[in-house]
Amino acid sequence: MHDLDWPGSYGQENDPPCPPDPSETPRPRRKSGALMLSEDEARHVRVAVRKLRRAFGSFNALAARLDMPANTVRRIANPKGTPPTGTFAIRLAAVAGVAVEVLLGGKLVVTTPIIGRAA
């Protein structure tokens, strides 16, 4: 005959959870210093975000091209908001169609297309 206690109750994930050990609590993660921009580069990226917003019509249109939430793009464009990262600068340069160095150097020139004229 089979034992009614088989398999045992251990390992069945029905034990109450153990309280977390204070020495094992995870520390908050910090952003990598390699992807942080200098103050000048961050300022240039913010200016580029505002220029591209005007070129595309709205933060929503720019955010759709960046594949990001519009509120995130708005926070990055705000001088007192979240500082832009290197990853964001790379994505923004890809949307603008320029090199990242041009974007970080502050030499981005955005022209609106003229409708009805050949380029």
Domains in the chain, ordered, with CATH? 33-105 (1.10.260.40)
Q: How far is CA 34 from the centre of its chain?
A: 15
DSSP 8-class letter at 9: S
Q: Which residues are CB-neighbours of 1 under 8 A, at least 6 positions away?
A: none
Distance CA 103, CA 119 (A): 23
Q: Who contacts 117 (Cβ-Cβ below 8 Å, separation ≥6)?
A: none
pLDDT digits (tens, 9 = 90+) for 32-64: 777 788 899 999 999 999 999 998 889 999 999
| pTM exceeds 0.75 for this model | no
Digit-coded pLDDT (tens) for 19-33: 666 676 677 777 677
